[in-house]
Amino acid sequence: MRTLTLRSMQQPSYLDTLLYSLVMEMSVLPGDAYPVREPDKLPGPLRRIIKMATNVGQSWGCWTDERHHWLFIAELPLTRGKPVLQLDQYNAAGDLKETTNWYCDDNDKWCRFAVP
């Protein structure tokens, strides 16, 4: 039963919501950044990453302030226990800047897994 629940949570609309929620809580974007929802308006390297991500069922969100782009790719792999959101962050050149893993605590607050 738990596997069915986790699989249903992997649907893009739910994953999109988790991604947006986490990025907003991380406070990594400048105040004038806004989301870009159309891949055609993004640099080529980011379009390629988005295409690969959507082909494997991952979610994406991109923001820009007209000078920089921030692309986030999210995946919710099936795990035992609490669901873990894997988040990859890319720059406009398509370089992977960071991969982090997050979970929601009992108060619905995002918590980053500490790297040992």
Cβ atoms within 10 Å of 85's Cβ, excluding its own: 22
SS3 category, 29: coil
10: pLDDT strictly greater than 70: no
Q: Output the pTM of the full model.
A: 0.84
Residue 2 — very low, low, confident or very high, per pLDDT cuts 50/70/90? very low
Planar angle of CA 27, 13, 95, nearest 5 degrees: 50
Domain membership of residue 59 as a residue range: 2-112
Residue 4 — very low, low, confident or very high, per pLDDT cuts 50/70/90? very low
pLDDT in tens, 66-111: 899 999 999 988 776 778 899 999 999 999 999 999 998 889 899 9
pLDDT in tens, 12-48: 578 899 999 999 999 999 999 999 999 999 999 999 9
What is the structure's pLDDT at 6? 52
How far apart are the C-alpha atoms of 39 and 49, rounded to whole Å? Answer: 10
SS3 category, 76: coil
